[in-house]
Amino acid sequence: MADVLRIQDLRAVSGRLLDAVEERFGADIDVSRAGVDLYWNVDLRTAFEVSSDPAAGIDVGQTSDDLSELRALLRGPADGMPVLWHDLQHLAGVLRLLAYLDLSGAGEGQS
C-alpha cells in the first residue's frame, strides 16, 4: 500500500503544509521581494527517464509565469478542465519557491 497515491492523503498533507507556510510567511507573500524569478527546471519526460543524460531536458522556469498561469486557471470557468500536465508543473514551480523561501530565509518578515 505504500506505493499507492491516495488523493485524499495528498489533499490533507497539502493543507497541512500550506497552513505551515501561512503561519511562517503570512497569508500574502510578495515573491518579488525574494529576488528570484527564474529557476532551473527539468522537463517532465527527462525527470522520469533517469537512464538518459538530463542535460538536454534542463530549461528555465519562471515564478512570475507560474503565478500568472495559476491565476488564469482560477479565473477560468469552475467546470473547465485543467490541462493537468501543464497546470501541475506551474503549481510545482510555486511549491518549490515556497520550499526555497523556507530554506534560504528569503521570505522572512513577509505578510
User: Phi then psi for 60, rounded to 5 degrees?
Assistant: -115, 130
Q: What is the pTM of this model?
A: 0.88
> What are the residue ranges of helices labelled H in the chain?
7-25, 44-48, 63-75, 84-104
Cell of 23: 503561519
| 77 within a domain of the structure (yes/no) | yes
| 39 within a domain of the structure (yes/no) | yes
Q: What is the mean pLDDT of residues 7-36?
A: 96
| 80 within a domain of the structure (yes/no) | yes
| 110 within a domain of the structure (yes/no) | no
Task: Report percent pLDDT > 90 for the chain.
Answer: 81
| 2 within a domain of the structure (yes/no) | no
Q: How far is the C-alpha of 10 from the C-alpha of 2, rounded, in Å?
A: 13
Print the domain residue range for 30.
7-104
| 32 within a domain of the structure (yes/no) | yes
Specify the number of domains making up the chain.
Answer: 1
| 109 within a domain of the structure (yes/no) | no
Q: pLDDT tens for residues 57-102?
A: 999 999 999 999 999 999 999 888 999 999 999 999 999 999 999 9
Give the CA dihedral 16, 19, 23, 24, nearest 10 degrees: 70
